[in-house]
Amino acid sequence: MKNLLSIHDLGKAGIIDVMNVAESFAEVERRTMKKVPALKGKVVATLFFEESTRTRLSFETAAKRLSADVLSLSVASSSVKKGESLKDTLKTIESLGIDAVIIRHRSSGAPLQASRWLDDIAVINAGDGWHEHPSQGLLDAFTVRQAWAEDAGVKPIDTGAELFAGKRIVIVGDIAHSRVARSETLAYKALGADVVLCAPQTLLPSDTSSWGVEVTHDLDAELEQADLISVLRLQAERGSGECVPSLREFNADFAMTTTRLRALKPGARVTHPGPMVRGVEIASEVADDPRCLVTTQVTNGVAVRMAVLYLLLTGGNQGLEGVGQ
């Protein structure tokens, strides 16, 4: 594999590889000297057609800690504004001799199209429309495995996917318009967890019959059984506002409140891919509770993205396929 477009590209073994390599990079991040020379001489470009400071910074930090050179293409000030097509923009940066391009685009599938247009460049999807945000799904799974391994007193790297078997993971919020929901669902399902999608009917994807998930509209009924609650934001900017009568009504049934936090079973965790809106989909007390992993998620984002870049950009053309040989 030379690209990371979807969690589908990895499969269970690939997800575990990424998580295990990320453990090594997490160690690098704890050092005073946080940089390793693994990608010295490689050039990585970030191409964000939709602004996202946190994801862009996380990828750029990851690339720099691997000693790669980073080209940060700011779309707002580029020729895209002058009418240049995505294809031409990609062809232009290809001619600059880059090794990987990290793309965020408002259109689902744009990174997949980009991978067809680029010959020898690794394409990493940093979020496409409502489709996927694979690095987020990976870092969420990584963070959760770390927490569960700590609870069990074992090293995460020794556990593979064991800790996910039989776990009940509830993804709550605007599933329909969430690329994180799709990537998390694929990742958690691949690792062997049971996934429950919880949202008002109008914020569920139209047909999830082939996803192998349960669907519910009752968050309160899930709290006692859930091992993990993944809280998602209402994607008002992507048109989900009209899908519910009001934010107030949505939050009454689907926000993670302190009352709901108290109803969780011992050891259950809460994640949020950010950016959080405190007091809206997640109460401030929940966000700051030790059971909520949101700051760890941000920290781990760099290690996981280092692992993705490392695995895609080393090993000649073998990339992730060569891993484990």
Partner 1 sequence: MTIIQTARYGMAQEALAIVGGNVLTQTGLIRADVMVEEGIVTAIGLDLDLPVAAKVINAAGCVVGPGFVDLHTHLREPGKEQAETIATGARAAALGGYTAVVAMPNTDPVLDSAFVVRAVLDLGAVSTCEVAVAGAITVGRQGEALSPIAELAKLGVQLFTDDGSGVQHGGVARRALDYCRGLGVTYAEHCEDNAIAAGGVVHEGEWSAKLGLPGQPASAEEAMVARDLLLARELGARLHLLHLSTQGSVDLVRQAKAAGIKVTAEAAPHHFTLTDATLQSYDAVFKVNPPLRPDHHVQAIIQGFLDGTIDAVATDHAPHTKETKDLPFDEAPPGMLGLETAFSLTYERLVLGAKMSIEQLFQVMSTNPARIAGLDRSGARPYGHTPHGELVAVGNVANLVVVDLDATWTVDGSSFASLAANTPYEGRVMHGAIRHTVLRGEPVVLEGVATR
Partner 2 sequence: MTETDPNVAHERAGEALGAEIASADDVRRALTRMAHEIIERHGSASQLVVIGLQSGGLEPAQHLAEQLERIVGHDIARGSLDVAFYRDDLALRPVVPEAATDIAVDLDGKVVVLVDDVLFTGRTIRAALNALSDFGRAKSVELAVLVDRGHRELPIRPDYVGKNLPTARSERVDASVRGIWLGQQERSAS
Which C-beta is closer to partner 1: that of 129 or that of 156? 129
CB of 305 to partner 2, least distance (A): 15
Determine if 157 is a binding residue for partner 2 (CB under 8 A). Answer: yes
Give contact residues for partner 1 (rule: CB under 8 A). Answer: 85-87, 105, 107-110, 112-113, 117, 128-132, 179, 182, 205-211
Nearer to partner 2, 31 or 81 (CB): 31
Residue 11 interacts with partner 2 (CB under 8 A)?
no
Residue 128 near which of partner 2, partner 1, none (CB within 5-8 Å, type-dependent): partner 1
Q: Which lies closer to partner 1 via its Cβ, residue 105 or residue 167? A: 105
For position 120 contacting partner 2 by CB under 8 A, the verdict is no
Q: Interface with partner 2 includes 310 (CB under 8 A)? A: yes
Q: Please answer whether residues 44 and 99 qualify as being in contact, where contact means their C-beta atoms are separated by less than 8 angstroms.
A: yes
Q: Which does 95 bind (CB under 5 to 8 A by kind): partner 1, partner 2, none?
A: none
Specify the residue, 284 or 318, whose C-beta has the smaller distance to partner 2.
318
Q: Which is nearer to partner 1, 208 or 314 (CB)?
A: 208
* Least distance in angstroms from the C-beta of 179 to partner 2: 28
Tell me the three-class secondary structure of the chain, residue by residue.
CCCECCHHHCHHHHHHHHHHHHHHHHHHHHCCCCCCCCCCCCEEEEEECCCCHHHHHHHHHHHHHCCCEEEEEEHHHCHHHHCCCHHHHHHHHHCCCCCEEEEEECCCCHHHHHHHHCCCCEEEEEEECCCECHHHHHHHHHHHHHHHHHHHCCCHHHCCCHHHCCCEEEEECCCCCCHHHHHHHHHHHHCCCEEEEECCHHHCCCCCCCCCCEEECCHHHHCCCCCEEEECCCCHHHCCHHHCCCHHHHHHHHCECHHHHHHCCCCCEEECCCCCCECCCECHHHHHCCCECHHHHHHHHHHHHHHHHHHHHCCCCCHHHHCCC
Each residue 238-277 as x (binds partner 2 by CB under 8 A) or -, in order, gives: ----------------------------------------
109 or 315: whose CB is closer to partner 1?
A: 109
296 part of the interface to partner 2, by CB under 8 A: no
Q: Which residues would be at the binding site for partner 2 (CB under 8 A)?
A: 17, 20-21, 23-24, 26-28, 31-33, 35-39, 66, 157, 310-311, 314-316, 318-320, 322-325
